[in-house]
């Protein structure tokens, strides 16, 4: 079973466990069974707006048995990152909301206002009340030598009214104004995954996510295996055509795969330039991967796995045809 191949799973939330108000199909029962077999889980989110207890409460509302300590937010990872540079207990200026302040206090730092001259560092994270004045104070402090740390650099943030500017937009404004680059804790930085793995004392962790440029890139940066599930924002075509830095170890429909055999894409090897796998056959023709069913009862996900194997083995693939998903 896939879940027995790893001692811990570092699991993204949106698109993996839930999508807005609804649990993703099979997620709750699959995770509950996997935990029953001994897999330890951390729920890892770039969202710095909420504290770990609030995220855990939300996850419990779906029926998951989650403890507050099972959650890792990008604000918590940022506090861990801060602790490797400045002494715990010192004052840190907060440009962000309650989730950022909570993480600093939990890590033993003293959160202060952006204009407080005692701050040895500035931590920027999501906060709907952030003002131009806060950004101005952050710039002054950073120019004066305060360490510049960001929870995450997501450019957009989903709201009920549509996409809004994410923390990355505000971080970039301060970077532009100071010519100083922030240290970043959230995905695709490896910091958040390493912090989460360390808290679980994991020797062999698997990252599970639905987004290539955060979850999967972050896993690759951290040196962890990864599983892309197609239950969220990434299409089958997008993962097959992913750039090398954003290619996952495995591709599956959803978390039911935790109870099945693992299917690493790299293990699908060609014979005479033909990739045969799970009732599907793939060839590279010019700049295209062409997939066809060999067995009419083959599962659609196999077409994605075999296409990825063929595409990733070739330097020149720009298109794929014949995917069943």
Closer residue to Mg ion in complex, CB, 15/127: 15
Q: Is the dihedral of CA 46, 48, 49, 53 positive or negative?
A: positive
Residues at the contact surface with Mg ion, assessed by CB under 5 A:
12, 14-15, 210-211
Closer residue to Mg ion in complex, CB, 215/225: 215
Annotation marks residue 12 as catalytic: yes
CA-to-CA distance for 82 and 114, rounded, in angstroms?
16
Closer residue to Mg ion in complex, CB, 175/252: 252
Annotation marks residue 14 as catalytic: yes
**How far from 238 is each of 103, 199, 211, 232, 247, CA to CA, in Å?**
35, 32, 10, 12, 10
Confirm if 259 and 3 have CB atoms less than 8 A apart. yes
Active-site hit among 12, 80, 154, 215: 12
Closer residue to Mg ion in complex, CB, 15/96: 15
Sheet holding 110-112, edge to edge: 110-112, 91-95, 121-124, 147-150, 183-184
CB 210 → Mg ion: shortest distance, Å? 4
CB 303 → Mg ion: shortest distance, Å? 23
- Partners of 320 in beta bridges: 289
- Partners of 164 in beta bridges: 157
CB 44 → Mg ion: shortest distance, Å? 10
Closest residue by Cα to residue 193 from 229, 154, 212, 221: 221
Closer residue to Mg ion in complex, CB, 14/80: 14
Q: Residue 203: left (phi > 0), alpha (psi -120 to 50), or beta?
A: alpha
Please state whether the peptide bond connecting residue 188 to the residue before it is cis, i.e. omega within 30 degrees of 0.
yes
- Partners of 92 in beta bridges: 111, 121
Active-site hit among 14, 134, 210, 225: 14
Give me the residue whose beta carbon is nearest to Mg ion: 15
CB 156 → Mg ion: shortest distance, Å? 13
Q: What is the dihedral of CA 147, 148, 150, 154, to 10 degrees?
A: -160
CB 14 → Mg ion: shortest distance, Å? 4
Q: Which are the catalytic amino acids?
A: 12, 14
């Amino acid at each position: 079973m896939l879940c027995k191949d790893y001692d811990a799973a570092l699991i993204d939330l949106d698109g993996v466990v839930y999508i807005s108000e609804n649990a993703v199909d099979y997620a709750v029962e699959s995770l509950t069974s996997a935990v029953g077999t001994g897999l330890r889980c951390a729920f890892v989110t770039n969202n710095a707006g909420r504290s770990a207890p609030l995220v855990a409460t939300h996850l419990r509302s779906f029926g998951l048995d989650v403890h507050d300590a099972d959650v890792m937010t990008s604000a918590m990872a940022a506090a861990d990152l801060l602790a490797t540079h400045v002494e715990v207990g010192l004052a840190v200026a907060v440009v962000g909301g309650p989730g950022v302040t909570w993480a600093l206090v939990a890590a033993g730092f003293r959160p202060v206002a952006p204009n407080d001259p005692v701050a040895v560092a500035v931590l920027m994270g999501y906060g709907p009340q952030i003002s131009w004045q806060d950004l101005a104070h952050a710039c002054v402090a950073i120019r004066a030598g305060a360490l510049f740390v960001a929870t995450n650099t997501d450019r957009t943030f989903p709201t009920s009214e549509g996409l809004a500017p994410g923390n990355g937009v505000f971080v970039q404004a301060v970077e532009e104004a100071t010519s100083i680059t922030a240290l970043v804790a959230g995905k695709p930085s490896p910091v958040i995954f390493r912090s989460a793995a360390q808290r679980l004392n994991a020797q062999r962790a698997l990252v599970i996510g639905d987004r290539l440029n955060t979850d999967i890139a972050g896993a690759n940066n951290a040196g962890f295996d990864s599983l892309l599930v197609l239950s969220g924002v990434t299409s089958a075509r997008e993962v097959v055509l992913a750039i090398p830095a954003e290619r996952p170890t495995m591709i599956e429909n959803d978390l039911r795969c935790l109870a099945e055999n693992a299917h690493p894409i790299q293990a699908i090897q060609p014979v005479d330039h033909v990739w045969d796998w799970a009732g599907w056959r793939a060839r590279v023709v010019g700049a295209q991967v062409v997939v066809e069913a060999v067995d009419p009862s083959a599962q659609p996900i196999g077409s994605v796995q075999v296409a990825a194997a063929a595409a990733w083995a070739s330097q020149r693939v720009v298109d794929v045809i014949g995917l069943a998903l």
